[in-house]
Structure formats: C-alpha cells, structure tokens
Structure 1
Amino acid sequence: MRLTSDLWVSAYLRRRNAKGKPSVLIRRGAKEAGAIFIRVDRLDGTHDLYEPASQLSYSEEHERLGDRLFHRSLEAVSTFDVMDRLEKEAKFDSDFWVVETECAQASSDIMLADD
C-alpha cells in the first residue's frame, strides 16, 4: 500500500534535513494522492526537477512495496525553466506538491524509474 502524499512528503523532508540537506515544502497538494515534484537546487545556479514516473515504470514488486518512483524531467537548468514546467503542471492538475532540496552533488534520495 502506498503512503499518502502528505505522509511521504513529511518523511522525505525529515530524512533530507536530518542528512544536512536543507529541504522545504514549496507547494502543498492533495493530501491523499497529489503528484509530488522534487526540485533540487545544485547550489551553482542550476536546478534539477524530478516528477512522478509513469505507471508503466512500476513492477509488481514496486506496487507491492508501495514505492514511489520518479524520473528526472529537467537537469541543470535555470530556476525559470523549472517554474515554467511547474506552471504547465498547474494548468493540467493543480493538486500537486513541490519540495525543494539543496545539494551541490545533485543527490535527491528518491527512487528513480528505469527509463
């Protein structure tokens, strides 16, 4: 069973901050099942953006464990590029979450789908 978006985001923020990777909630979405976007500030003026992976990316094991998979949709881009992508998402589905985290090595501590 998959965790609610609210619980998953809370746990993610706690885990990242405990590792010394400052992380904050930028936008609160639907509590139960809002899509979650992770924005990684590389601390060099660029950002990565991760968004939910397609349901086709999930194996039976992922489904059984309730994993959340992501894929990197933008890499080493300006904050304006990230904001443009999120504005497009808002027009499509306004119930999404945005979490921002900082890491010079661009680590995100999320499960990535095999693209």
Structure 2
Amino acid sequence: MRLKAEVFVAALTRRLFAEGAMAAIERRGAAEAGAIFVRVRHRDGTESLAAPAPQSVFEDDHPVMRLFEMRKTRVPEAEISEVLARERRFDPDIWVVEIETDRPEDYLDLAEG
C-alpha cells in the first residue's frame, strides 16, 4: 500500500526541517493520490526536478513506496517553472514541493538510469 500524497509530503518536509534543511509546499494537490514533483534548489542557483517515475520502472516486489526520476538536472529556474506549468495544465491535482539540497538522493528514492 502506498502512502497518501499528503502524508508523504508531510514526512519529507519534516525530515528536511529536522536536518536543518529548507522545504516548502509550493502547490498542494490531491490529498489521496496527487502526483508529487520535487523542485530541488541548488546552492549554485540552478534547479533540478524530480518527477514520479513511470510505473514500468517498478518491480512487483519493489519495497519503495514512491519512486522518482530526475526529469531535469541543474538547469535555470525558468526551465523548471515551464515544465511544472505544463504538468499543472495536464493534471491540476499535482503537488509541488520545493527543497534546498545538493543531494536530493538523500531524501528521495530515485530510479536508476
């Protein structure tokens, strides 16, 4: 069973806060099953975007509740904003969480690739 989106986001933000990092909910989506996008701000001023990994990446016995893929890596902020605007038009129930870290893999399960 997968965690509800709002529970996953709450746990992610609390973990970051507990470690002295920054996190903010930029957009609240559907509480039960909204897709979660994570906007990663890096210290050098660039951003990355972690998006839900395609279902084809999951194995039947995969223990990870939510798996992400890096859709964009270390690009200007405007590129991330553009992708998120397209995603919102496609699915208005998405979540957007902003975190500040140079190591998103410390907080998210990332698909290999």
**TM bin (shorter chain):** over 0.9
Q: Which residue of 1 aligns with 2:103?
A: 107
Q: 1:91 aligns with which of 89, 92, 107?
A: 89
Q: Which residue of 1 aligns with 2:20?
A: 20
Query: Sequence identity, in percent?
Result: 41
In structure 2, the gaps of 5 or more residues are: none
TM-score, with length taken from structure 1: 0.92
Count residues with an aligned counterpart. Answer: 111
Q: TM-score with structure 2 length normalisation?
A: 0.94
Q: Which residue in 1 is equivalent to 2:32?
A: 32
How do residues 53-72 of structure 1 correspond to structure 2 at under 5 angstroms? Answer: 53-62=53-62, 65=63, 67-72=65-70
RMSD: 1.0
Alpha-carbon distance between aligned partners in 2 of 1:76 and 1:4, rounded to the nearest angstrom: 29
User: Stretches of 4+ moved more than 2 A in 1?
Assistant: none
Deviation digits for residues 11-63 of structure 1, max 9, x if unmatched? 0000111111111111000000000001110021100100000001111222x
Note the residue ranges of structure 1 that are not aligned, 5 or more in a row: none
Separation of aligned partners in 2, 1:90 and 1:82: 12
